[in-house]
């Protein structure tokens, strides 16, 4: 079984105290020592999925693994993944600066995004970002201008929209024709001609496409690859351009609940490599360098979130609600996508699952529901709830809604826990607030 097919971190178990532990660390102790809500990352699970990817693609001549930083970006994780041989797909100045400060080799960084600013492009060039995935004609123009001002030629991929629609939530589909991302195939020739004839500070190296996120279908990767390889062959025939890179994006799904059956890294690797070999032979081109951009599947399973249970409410002839000390501000996915999660009570993991309850968040929205219906033991105030598979898109989408501080994050391994993101303080909440002088003058 590939790591992304596991519902829980690989190191999870019940210890002698009768509590859940991850990475040899008792989750109740973590909650007491660091407070809740608390994000917990299992280093063993992260390293395991990295190994899965490297093993799965070892039979293709040249593969560049690029972690999709938007899933979760912090310096400790960047350092860990760089040590595993991964590069980084980034989409903002903040992500660029984070991996830079972590000491990442910036030549292994690819800058993605559909509306990169002048400031972000300038920073990326100054810090030596290795690739730009160019999304539109506006970006072609400004990227060439900024590169010229730096007296540099930058390597680019053209991001195209292949017209493939995967069966995921509509908000995380990116490869279909009606998408904000990428050049339509009918626009590729115009873009290539601009690069060849006018934009001398851009070096076109290949094509990039991304078909979505939380993908369970493998055949769509084969469809995507044939489109990309066919296009590379056509451009060579028409313009004499030898493109030697192909980026197929990421998107492999993970197991959030028992009913989820995602394919493994080995399943998609087999599909991608076979499709590449067939298309290379069919369209008579040399094997390109392959870029893969896993994000969710790298980090999601490794993460859990700990909450402390507080108030409860029994609706007459209706649901039983239990509220936790977090919610939609530290995990936006249930309210945004209708995402489902599973959980255990960290201090009662072996107790009978006697009650069906709804887990509500603490925020002032009726839609702040983390888990709509789950079987759990008899609950009481102070219990520690462990929600699984929260490594991806939880901290990265966290907000200060209701002016609540963002949680801390710890990395656990070998019975040791280390803080990798500090919990925000109340002073952090007001740190960027300003009061105009004219308001201060009104004080009596």
DSSP H helices, 35-117, are 43-56, 75-83, 93-101
Question: Does 166 qualify as catalytic in the annotation?
Answer: no
**Residue 165: exposed, middle, or buried by beta-carbon count in 10 A (0-12, 13-18, 19+)?**
middle
CA-to-CA dists, residue 113 to 63, 125, 155, 189, 243, angstroms:
22, 15, 16, 21, 21
Catalytic residue among 50, 73, 342, 364: 364
* Residue 154 CB partners (closer than 8 Å, separation 6+): 125, 132, 143, 147, 201, 202, 203
**Residue in this structure with the two tokens 């600066």, named with its chain if needed:** 97
Cα–Cα distance, 138 to 136 (Å, whole number): 6
| Residues 44 and 11 sit within 8 Å (Cβ to Cβ) | yes
Cα–Cα distance, 120 to 92 (Å, whole number): 7
DSSP-based three-state secondary structure for 66: strand
Helices (runs of H) and strands (runs of E) counted in the chain = 13, 21
Cα–Cα distance, 288 to 292 (Å, whole number): 13
Q: Which helix (H) or strand (E) holds 121?
A: helix 118-126
Strands (E), 171-229: 183-184, 202-208
228, two tokens? 């990309």
| Residues 387 and 368 sit within 8 Å (Cβ to Cβ) | no
Cα–Cα distance, 298 to 2 (Å, whole number): 11
| Residues 430 and 107 sit within 8 Å (Cβ to Cβ) | no
| Residues 37 and 305 sit within 8 Å (Cβ to Cβ) | yes
Q: Which residues pair with 324 in a beta bridge?
A: 309
Cα–Cα distance, 85 to 66 (Å, whole number): 9
**Residue in this structure with the two tokens 């056509």, named with its chain if needed:** 234
| Residues recognised as catalytic | 364
């Amino acid at each position: 079984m590939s790591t992304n097919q596991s519902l829980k971190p690989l190191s999870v178990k019940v210890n002698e105290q009768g509590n859940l532990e991850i990475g040899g660390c008792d989750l109740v102790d973590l909650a007491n020592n660091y407070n809740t809500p608390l994000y917990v990352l299992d280093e063993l699970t992260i390293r395991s999925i990295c190994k899965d990817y490297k093993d799965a693609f070892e039979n293709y001549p040249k593969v560049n693994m690029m972690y999709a930083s938007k899933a979760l970006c912090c310096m400790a994780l960047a350092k860990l993944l760089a040590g595993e041989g991964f590069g980084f797909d980034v989409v903002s100045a903040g992500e660029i600066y984070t991996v830079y400060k972590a000491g990442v080799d910036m030549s292994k960084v690819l800058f993605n995004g559909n509306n990169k600013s002048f400031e972000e492009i300038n920073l990326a060039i100054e810090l030596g970002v290795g690739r730009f995935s160019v999304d539109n004609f506006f970006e072609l123009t400004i990227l060439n201008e900024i590169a010229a001002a730096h007296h540099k030629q930058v390597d680019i991929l053209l991001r195209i929209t292949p017209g493939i629609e995967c069966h995921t939530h509509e908000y995380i589909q990116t490869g279909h024709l009606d998408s904000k991302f990428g050049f339509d195939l009918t626009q590729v020739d115009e873009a290539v001609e601009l690069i060849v004839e006018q934009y001398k500070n851009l070096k076109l190296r290949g094509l990039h496409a991304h078909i979505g996120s939380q993908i369970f279908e493998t055949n769509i990767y084969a469809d995507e690859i044939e489109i990309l390889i066919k296009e590379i062959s056509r451009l060579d025939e028409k313009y004499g351009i030898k493109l030697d890179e192909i980026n197929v994006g990421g998107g492999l799904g993970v197991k959030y609940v028992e009913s989820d059956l995602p394919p493994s890294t080995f399943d998609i690797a087999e599909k991608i490599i076979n499709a590449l070999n067939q298309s290379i032979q069919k369209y008579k081109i040399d094997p390109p360098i392959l870029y893969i951009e896993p994000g969710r599947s790298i980090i999601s399973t490794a993460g859990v979130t700990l909450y402390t249970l507080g108030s409860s409410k029994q609706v007459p002839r209706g649901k039983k609600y239990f509220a936790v000390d977090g919610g939609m501000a530290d995990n936006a996915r249930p309210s945004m996508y209708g995402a489902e999660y599973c959980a255990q009570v960290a201090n009662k993991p072996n107790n009978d699952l006697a009650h069906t309850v709804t887990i509500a968040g603490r925020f002032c929205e009726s839609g702040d529901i983390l888990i709509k219906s789950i079987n759990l033991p008899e609950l009481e105030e102070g219990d520690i709830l462990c929600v699984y598979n929260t490594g991806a898109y939880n901290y990265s989408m966290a907000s200060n809604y209701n002016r609540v501080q963002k949680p801390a994050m710890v990395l656990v391994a070998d019975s040791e826990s280390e803080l990798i993101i500090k919990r925000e303080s109340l002073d952090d909440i007001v740190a960027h607030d300003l009061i105009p002088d004219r308001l201060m003058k009104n004080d009596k």
